[in-house]
């Protein structure tokens, strides 16, 4: 049996918990949007609402609550992705320099995606 001294920043439990919480946030959003699509698409024609078109999407995303919910979804998605990719890099990339480079690239990329999402949602 090999004795191994545990080292590191001990992100395991916190990362695990954050991934579960972010997964719940993403699941709620996906179910909401899927329900909206089903109720407003041609599947919902028997309800007399017509099909899903551009104007219904504009109405949905013009609501500040929906924009905020979408931003919360995207933040949860990016944080979920960061934790998962960080763990993969920690497990499989041995070189500290390469690992640092990958972390910096991932951080910059996810921050740029976040800024882009805010620009899309609020037109800033």
Annotated binding site for a ubiquinone: 92
Q: DSSP string spanning 76-124?
A: HHHHHHHHHHHHHHHHH---HHHHHHHHHHHHHHHHHHHHHHHHHHH--
Q: Is 123 exposed, middle or buried (0-12, 13-18, 19+ CB in 10 A)?
A: exposed
Largest interatomic CA distance in the chain: 69
Positions at the binding site: 80, 92
> Exposed (0-12), middle (13-18) or buried (19+): which is 76, by Cβ within 10 Å?
buried
Q: Which positions make up the binding site for heme?
A: 80
């Amino acid at each position: 049996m090999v004795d191994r001294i545990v080292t590191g920043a001990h992100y395991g439990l916190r990362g695990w918990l954050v991934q579960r919480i972010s997964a719940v946030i993403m699941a709620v959003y996906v179910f909401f949007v899927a329900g909206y699509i089903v109720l407003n698409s041609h599947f919902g024609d028997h309800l007399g609402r017509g099909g899903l078109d551009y104007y219904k999407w504009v109405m949905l995303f013009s609501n500040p609550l929906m924009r905020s919910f979408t931003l919360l979804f995207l933040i949860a998605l990016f944080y979920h992705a960061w934790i998962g990719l960080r763990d993969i890099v920690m497990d499989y990339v041995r070189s500290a320099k390469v690992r640092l480079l990958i972390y910096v690239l991932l951080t910059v990329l996810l921050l740029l995606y976040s800024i882009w999402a805010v620009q899309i949602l609020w037109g800033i």
